[in-house]
């Protein structure tokens, strides 16, 4: 018989309990035997939100398909978002070795990119020459300058010992931000304000 876990003693993390709280609220709204919360939501809409398997292209489905999460600094994030930077270079270590064509990468928890191809090189210098400086580091004018950019993240020894990977990426039409924008457009300013209340005081009208 499975033993119950010990009671938690830490402060409740809102992010961790939000899904359970949302589902409980929607189910309670649908249950006619309990007092209503007075939500201005149709039964069909609530049932749709409670569906486990949502339709292709939804925010849930997109995030479910993410294989790896990466973080990049500016200006590289904006360059990836705008399609100017189409190759991400990293030292060939750890999970970077598992990334392959067809994988979905989530950058900075908001930008979804699909891997088109992955190439191995012995050095960042070789990678920049073969892949093209403009595709890897837009705005950088020389190979030497490009190598120095990577030197801010990786030592020369680590580069020499492991080699590097060039991850060619493309931006899918369906993006998490677009899916969320659809939700926000349904809520409209009044709905968003009621959800955020104290945080939007004096900001929305």
> What are the pLDDT digits (tens) for 82-115?
999 999 999 999 999 999 999 999 999 999 999 9
Q: Which domains does the chain have, with CATH numbers?
A: 14-51 (no CATH), 65-170 (2.30.130.30)
* In 65-113, alpha helices (H): 76-81
120 and 92 in contact (C-beta within 8 Å)?
A: yes
CA distance 121 to 101: 17
54 and 60 in contact (C-beta within 8 Å)?
A: yes
100 and 118 in contact (C-beta within 8 Å)?
A: yes
pLDDT reported for residue 56:
46
pLDDT reported for residue 183:
67
Q: pLDDT at residue 52 above 90?
A: no
Q: pLDDT at residue 132 above 50?
A: yes
Q: In the predicted model, what is the mean pLDDT of the chain?
A: 83
Higher pLDDT, 145 or 174: 145
């Amino acid at each position: 018989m499975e033993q119950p876990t010990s009671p938690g003693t830490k402060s409740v993390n809102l992010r961790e309990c939000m899904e359970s709280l949302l589902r409980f609220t929607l189910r309670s709204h649908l249950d006619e035997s309990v007092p209503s919360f007075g939500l201005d939501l149709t039964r069909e809409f609530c049932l749709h939100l409670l569906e486990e398997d949502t339709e292709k292209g939804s925010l849930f489905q997109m995030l479910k398909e993410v294989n790896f999460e990466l973080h990049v600094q500016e200006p590289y994030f904006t360059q990836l978002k705008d399609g100017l930077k189409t190759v991400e270079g990293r030292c060939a270590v750890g999970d970077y070795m598992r990334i392959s064509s067809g994988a979905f990468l989530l950058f900075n928890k908001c930008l979804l990119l699909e891997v088109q191809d992955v190439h191995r090189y012995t050095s960042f210098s070789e990678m920049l020459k073969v892949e093209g400086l403009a595709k890897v580091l837009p705005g950088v004018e020389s190979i030497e300058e490009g190598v120095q950019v990577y030197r801010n993240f990786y030592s020369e020894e680590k580069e020499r010992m492991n080699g590097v990977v060039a991850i060619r990426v493309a931006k899918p039409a369906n993006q998490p931000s677009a899916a969320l924008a659809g939700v926000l457009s349904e809520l409209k300013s009044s709905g968003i304000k009621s959800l955020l209340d104290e945080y939007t005081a004096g900001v929305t009208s």
